[in-house]
Amino acid sequence: MKILKGYVFKMYPNEKQQELINKTIECSGFIYNYFSSEYKTVI
């Protein structure tokens, strides 16, 4: 029997860190959507 464990962490970023997190997530989403659409046009 395999036992799996997980941990939950709560983050409390300050305003500057929150802005950086939001920019990173937006950029990642843009890149994913861009290459997803490029892949669909190739097929």
pLDDT tens track for 1-43 = 888 899 999 999 999 999 999 999 999 999 999 999 988 777 6
Task: Please write down the long-range contacts of 12-19, taking CB distance under 8 Å and 24 or more positions apart.
Answer: none
Q: Which pTM was predicted?
A: 0.59
Query: Quick one: tokens of 39?
Result: 């892949």
